[in-house]
Amino acid sequence: MVEHFPEEPTLGLFLNALDVGVLIIDQTGTVVWANDKLYQLADLTPNQLVGLKTKEMASLPSIHASVNPEWVKDSFWAMVRENGRVTDTTQPRYSYARMENGAQLISAEHYIRDNADRLRYIVLTVHASTDLLAAREKIGELEQRTALYQEQLSALHTRVLGQDIVYQSESLSRVFERALRLARLGGNIFLTGETGVGKSLLAQYIHTMSPRSSGPFIHVNCASLPASLIEAELFGYAEGAFTGAKRKGRRGVIEMGQGGTVFLDEIGDMPVEMQAKLLTVLEDKEIRRLGAEQTVKIDVRFLAATNRQPETLLQEQTLRNDLYYRLAMNRIDLPPLREHPEDIPALINATLTEFNQKNATALTLHPELIEHVQALPFPGNIRELKNVVWQIASESGQTAGEITLQMLAPELIPTLHSSTSLSPRVTPPPRGTESEAEEAQHWRTFCEEHQGNVYAMADALGVHRTTIIRKLKKHGLTYARKPRVQRASPKTVAPS
C-alpha cells in the first residue's frame, strides 16, 4: 500500500509556488507527491507519476534516458529496504535525465529521517539543466580567465616593476584593488600618504596595469627641480630660447610622456606660478615650449602625489585649488605602515631576499627579532623598515644562518628611530636560567602588575603583543586582548 504524503494544503500551496520541481519518494522507493512545476518539467500528470516505483519511473516512455543507474537497477532501494537507512545522507546526490521532448533535467536528492535515524522520505529538487549547465560552463570559463589574469598580474609585478608588491593586510588589498580598477579607466589620480609608504611604486603599478602601459612612465620629482629651470624641464624649449639652449631645442618631460603617464611627485613643492601654467596644460591638452610660437597637442595621463594632507596644502595656499581638483579626479590614500603592521614580516622577508641576492648571503631573522622590529613605530614607513632590515643584516657579520636579538650589534641601536623598542626596559630572565615553575611565577606576577593588559605588557617589554600572548598561554594565564577603557572625568590637555 502506498504511503501517501500527508495532506498539508498550506505546505502544498508553498511548494507549488516554487519555480523548481519537487518530487517526494517514501522509504519503499514509491512516488507519493510532486508539485506542479515537476509535472511541467517532466511533461507528466499526477495519474502517470504518483504511485510508481523509481524503477518504473525510469522506464517511462517520456524519459528518454537516465544517467542514474542505481534507479534502474533498484540497488539503492534494495539497500534502503534491507538497512532502513542510507550510508551517507549528509550530502545531496545528483541525477540527470533527458526527456523525450528534449528537455534535460538535473535533480538533487535530499534525505529526511525520523527520530530513530530511519530513512522516511527522499525529496528531489528538479531543475531544467540547460541554464544550469550553461552557467556552470560560464563560471568555469571565468575561473580559468581569473587564474590567467592573476598569473599575468604576478608576472607584470616582477617583470615591469622589478619586484613583487608585498602585502597581506586587508587595508592594502583594498588600496590595490581600487588602484587596479582606476588604472583601467581614464582620468587623473592623486596619491596621498606619508613619506615612504610606496606612492611611487603605486604610481608605477597604476601605469603598468593601465591601457597606457606600452607608453612611457615619466617620474618628475617637483621638489628636486630648481625654480629657475622647472618650466624648461616640464615644457621644454625651442632653439635659441635662452643662452645655453641646445641648437634644436628640447622636449620637456611632459612631452616625453606622450601616450603614457606623467607622475608629478611632491606636487605641493611646485611653485604656485608654475601650477597655473600646468593647469592650462591639463585643461587645453597642449603645451608650448619656451620660446616657441606653436603649441603641441599632448596625450598624457597625470598622476600626482604628496606626503602631506592636500587639505593642509590648500589651506596654506601652496597648492592651487583648481589644480588640485583637476588632478584629483580620483584620490587614493595609502595608509602608514603602523596601521597595517601585519605586513611587516612579509616585507622583512622580501627585503632579506633582496639583500641575500645582492650579497650572496643566506640570512634570516629569528621570529623574536622580527617581533621586536614589528614593534617599532617606523615614522619613515616601508622605506625606513627596509633600511632597518638592511642594517641588521649588514651589521650581523654573517653570511648565512639566523640572526637573533642577542646577536644584534650594540652600535646599531642608536641609529634606529625609537631605539628603545629594540632595548627592552624590563625583560624576563633568558631561557634556561630559571625553572619552569619560576618562569611561570615570573609571568604571573608580571601579568598581575599590568592587570592582564596585553598591550601594556608588550609596551613595557618592547615586544609585539603576540610574544606576550604566547608566553601567557604557555603558563595558562588570563589576559585581555583589547586595551581596557579607563572611565574617568575629562581632563584638559594642553596642545602639543
Domain spans, the chain:
9-133, 160-335, 339-400, 424-485
Residue 470: the pLDDT is 75
Which amino acid belongs to residue 184?
Answer: R
As a whole number, mean pLDDT of residues 27-50 equals: 86
As a whole number, mean pLDDT of residues 176-182 equals: 89
Show Cβ contacts of residue 292 under 8 Å, excluding neighbours closer than 6 positions.
237, 238, 241, 249
Q: Among candidates 20, 27, 31, which has minimal Cα distance to 111?
A: 27
Residue 89: the pLDDT is 47
160-335: CATH architecture = 3-Layer(aba) Sandwich (3.40)
Band of residue 159 on the pLDDT scale cut at 50, 70, 90 = very low
Residue 303 has pLDDT above 90, yes or no: yes
Residue 305 has pLDDT above 80, yes or no: yes
Q: Among candidates 394, 387, 344, which has minimal Cα distance to 369?
A: 344
Residue 434: the pLDDT is 53
Name which of 228-232, 301-305, 365-369 the model is least confident about. 228-232
Residue 44 exposure: Cα atoms within 13 Å on the Cβ side? 24
As a whole number, mean pLDDT of residues 273-278 equals: 88
Q: What is the 3-state secondary structure (H, E, C) of 186-246?
A: CCCEEEECCCCCCHHHHHHHHHHCCCCCCCCEEEEEHHHCCCCCHHHHHHEECCCCCCCCC
Q: Among candidates 398, 335, 16, 374, which has minimal Cα distance to 173?
A: 335
Show Cβ contacts of residue 296 under 8 Å, excluding neighbours closer than 6 positions.
255, 286, 287, 288, 289
Residue 214 has pLDDT above 90, yes or no: no
Fold observed for domain 424-485: Arc Repressor Mutant, subunit A (1.10.10)
Matching CATH number, 339-400, of 1.10.8.60, 1.10.3450.40, 3.90.1150.10, 1.10.1200.10:
1.10.8.60
Do the domains spanning 9-133 and 160-335 agree at the CATH topology level?
A: no
Residue 182: the pLDDT is 92
Residues 176 and 171: their CA atoms lie apart, in Å, by: 9
For the question of whether the overall pTM of this predicted structure is more than 0.85, the answer is no
pLDDT in tens, 119-143: 788 888 888 766 555 656 666 666 6
Fold observed for domain 9-133: Beta-Lactamase (3.30.450)
DSSP state of 61: T
